[in-house]
Amino acid sequence: MTEHAVVIAGAGPTGLMLAGELALAGVDVAIVERRASQDLAGSRAGGLHARTIEVFDQRGIADRFLSQGKIAQVAGFAWIRLDISDFPTRHNYGLALWQNQIERILAGWVDELAAPIYRRRDVTAFAQDETGVEVELSDGSSLRAQYLVGCDGGRSLIRKAAGIDFPGWDPTISHLIAEVELEAEPEWGRRRDASGVHALSRLEDGRVGVMVTEARVGPTTDPTLDDLRAALCAVYGTDYGVHSPNWISRFTDMARQAAAYRVGRVLLAGDAAHVHYPTGGQGLQIGVQDAVNLGWKLAQVVKQTSPDSLLDTYHAERHPVAARVLRNTMAQVALLRTDDRTSALREITSELLSMDEPRKRIAAMMSGLDIQYDLGEGHPLVGRRMPDLDLSTANGPLRVFTLLYNARPTLLTFGEPHSFDITPWADRVQSINATYSGTWELPAIGPVNAPTAVLIRPDGHVAWVGDGTDQGLADAITTWFGPPAAA
- Give 365-382 pLDDT, tens digit per residue: 999 999 999 999 999 999
CB 194 within 8 A of CB 183: no
Distance of CA 41 to the CA centre of its chain: 21
Given a cut of 90, is residue 40 above it in pLDDT?
Answer: no
Average pLDDT of the chain, as a whole number: 95
Distance CA 329, CA 275 (A): 10
Q: For residue 49, what are the CA distances in angstroms to 26, 62, 80, 268, 313? A: 28, 12, 16, 22, 24
> Which 8-state DSSP code applies to residue 370?
T
pLDDT band (50, 70, 90) for residue 421: confident
- Judged against a pLDDT cut of 80, whether residue 407 lies above it is answered with yes
pLDDT of residue 418: 64
At 80 the pLDDT is: 95
pLDDT in tens, 78-103: 999 999 999 999 999 999 998 999 99
Statement: residue 206 has pLDDT above 90: no
Residues 126-134: contacts with CB under 8 Å, at least 24 apart: 126/158, 126/161, 126/266, 128/264, 128/265, 128/266, 132/265, 133/7, 133/265, 133/266, 134/1
For 259, list phi and psi in degrees, rounded to 5.
-65, -30
- The pLDDT of residue 38 is 83
Residue-level pLDDT at 9: 98
Q: Can you tell me the mean pLDDT for 352-369? A: 97
Long-range contacts of 311-320 (CB under 8 A, 24+ apart): 311/262, 311/267, 312/262, 314/261, 314/262, 314/267, 315/260, 315/261, 315/262, 316/374, 317/293, 317/373, 317/374, 318/261, 318/273, 318/286, 318/289, 318/290, 318/293, 318/294, 319/257, 319/261, 320/374
User: Contact, 5 vs 27, CB < 8 A?
Assistant: yes
Question: Predicted confidence band at 221 (pLDDT cuts at 50, 70, 90)?
Answer: confident
Q: Are 61 and 82 in contact (CB under 8 A)?
A: no
- The dihedral formed by the CA atoms of 330, 335, 341 and 346, expressed in degrees to the nearest 10: 150
Backbone angles phi, psi at 424, to 5 degrees: -65, -15
* Neighbour-count burial for 340-350, b at 16+ CB within 10 Å, e otherwise: eeeeeebeebe
In the chain, count H helices and then E strands.
11, 28
Give the pLDDT score at 458.
98
Q: Is the dihedral of CA 472, 477, 478, 483 positive or negative?
A: negative
pLDDT at position 42 = 63
Question: What value does the mean pLDDT take over residues 346-359?
Answer: 97
Q: How far apart, in whole angstroms, are the C-alpha atoms of residue 214 and residue 233?
A: 10
Beta bridge partners of residue 211, listed in sequence order: 177, 199
d(CA 76, CA 414): 37
Q: Is the pLDDT of residue 1 over 90?
A: no
For the chain, state the CA radius of gyration: 23
What's the mean pLDDT in 185-196?
89
Check whether 43 has a pLDDT greater than 70: no
What domains are there in the chain, each with its CATH number? 2-167+256-367 (3.50.50.60), 174-252 (3.30.70.2450), 390-481 (3.40.30.120)
pLDDT at position 235 is: 94
The 10s digit of each residue's pLDDT in 473-487 is 999 999 999 999 865
pLDDT band at residue 218 using 50, 70 and 90 as cut-offs: confident
Q: At what angle do helices 283-302 and 50-58 cross, to 10 degrees?
A: 30
Segment 292-313 mean pLDDT: 98
Q: What per-residue confidence (pLDDT) applies to 44?
A: 62
Checking if the pLDDT of 45 tops 70, the result is: no
Q: Region 3-22: what's the mean pLDDT?
A: 98
Of the candidates 416, 450, 443, 456, the one whose C-alpha atom is nearest the C-alpha of residue 296 is: 456
pLDDT of residue 238: 95
Residues 6+ apart with CB under 8 A from 416: none
pLDDT at 219: 87
Q: Give phi and psi for 412, each to the nearest 5.
A: -110, 120
Q: What is the mean pLDDT of residues 427-437?
A: 94
Residue 269 has pLDDT above 90, yes or no: yes
Which region holds residue 79: left if phi is over 0, alpha if psi is between -120 and 50, else beta?
left
CA distance 365 to 162: 31
How many beta carbons lie within 10 A of that of residue 315, not counting itself?
A: 18
Checking if the pLDDT of 175 tops 70, the result is: yes
Q: Which contiguous run of DSSP H or E holds residue 213?
A: strand 208-213
Rounded CA-CA distance 310/276 in Å is 28
Average pLDDT over residues 154-160: 97
Q: Give percent above pLDDT 70 in the chain.
A: 98
How much of the chain, in percent, has pLDDT values that exceed 90?
89
